[in-house]
Amino acid sequence: MKVCVLYVSASKENQKIKAIAKAIAEGVSSQGHQVDIIDMNLDMGKKVSFYNYLIFGTEATTFWGGKISPAVSQFLRAAGTVSGIRSMGFVSKGGIRSMKTLQSLMKIMEHEGLFLKKSEIVTKVDYARAVGKHLQI
């Protein structure tokens, strides 16, 4: 199956979300799937409607959490028809209310019609790799 891991960082200096996205991609590819990684800030407007499974990751834009980058909703609006595609959402632990941040991401994904199968708060690269290995695609 074709899987795409999409991520967006709250700041250009922070590489944590990128490392987590790569680790999830490694775990998924170990199951034998073809995996692509997309930075939503750099690849705005790229079509992802031909993928079988989409994995979205982000982090809180504020210390208090709950708010995510507007690039996620902008990317999804321009990404083609994604309604009905199975997906997963994850956030890296950041800020005080990580669960609120994850809920914000899930709300945007569901608004675009994605079929949300799993959501996670991922704090470490090793855990991200394990999540990818055990993901039911």
CATH number at residue 98: 3.40.50.360
pLDDT band at 67 (very low <50, low <70, confident <90, very high): confident
* Single pTM value for the model: 0.91
Longest CA pairwise span in the chain (Å) = 38
Instruction: Kindly report the average pLDDT of the chain as a whole number.
Output: 90
Q: What is the pLDDT of residues 111-130, one digit of tens each?
A: 999 999 999 999 899 999 99
Number of structural domains found in the chain: 1
Which helix (DSSP H) or strand (DSSP E) does residue 114 occupy? none
* Dihedral sign computed on CA atoms, order 9, 132, 54, 44: positive
Note the pLDDT tens digit of each residue in 40-66. 988 888 999 999 999 999 988 777 777
Query: Residue 34: its pLDDT value, please?
Result: 96
Which pLDDT score, from 0 to 100, does residue 94 have?
A: 67
Residue 103 sits in which domain range? 2-134
* pLDDT above 90 as % of the chain: 65
| Alpha carbon separation from 28 to 2, 16, 58, 123, 127 (Å, rounded) | 10, 19, 18, 18, 13
What percentage of the chain reaches a pLDDT higher than 70?
Answer: 96
- Residue 101 contacts residue 66 (beta carbons within 8 Å): yes
